[in-house]
Structure 1
């Protein structure tokens, strides 16, 4: 039996719809002893409701691996492009009044 040439390589299938992705500007995370649930939401300015665009359910081990991978990627991003600043303190956009 022939061994795979690169056992760590995973072939990934992606539909056209998945390749488009979804936009999320808010995430809500809940957990139980057995899983983490990440709801990704889209909250548009002036709209009273946020819409869940995706829900991802992870084991605790995979949630911790995701945390590490995100931290490493943020570190790399900031090394290239500078610090990511929190925008929560951004003043509201003008309402078009003169």
Structure 2
């Protein structure tokens, strides 16, 4: 039986990836606006904080990924949001004609 446990432990180790999280990244950043740009081989997500009353914002983080990783992110978010809504109620989405930042012209410096 010890051999079975050892082989199971080895399989788990082979399927595991150790991920380190630096302290400055662990703090996270707040974002209330996302810009998405997609090319043939990558997806760029810019996470920004927009101050609505003064119409000024700053991109806080940029994440670049493959379309396959973006699809995986979509699946994870759909699953997590469905679970959240089942516990907390529906999240009202913004319609195309009633967006929080409707009419804001984005410019990059």
- Give the TM-score, by structure 1 length: 0.78
Q: 1:75 to 1:47 in 2, by over 3 A?
A: same
CA distance in 1: counterparts of 2:90 and 2:55, whole angstroms: 31
Cα shift at 1:49: 2.0
Q: CA RMSD in A?
A: 2.3
2:48 paired residue number: 41
1:62 equivalent to 2:66? Answer: no
Cα shift at 1:86: 2.6
Matching residue within 8, 21, 28 for 1:21: 28
CA distance in 1: counterparts of 2:12 and 2:75, whole angstroms: 27
Gapped regions of structure 1 (runs ≥ 5): 91-98
CA distance in 2: counterparts of 1:56 and 1:25, whole angstroms: 15
Matching residue within 75, 83, 87 for 1:80: 87
Higher helix proportion (structure 1 or 2): 2
- Give the TM-score, by structure 2 length: 0.71
Gapped regions of structure 2 (runs ≥ 5): 1-6, 100-109
The structure with more radius of gyration: 2
4+ runs deviating over 6 angstroms: none
1:12 paired residue number: 19
CA distance in 2: counterparts of 1:11 and 1:82, whole angstroms: 35
Cα shift at 1:4: 5.0
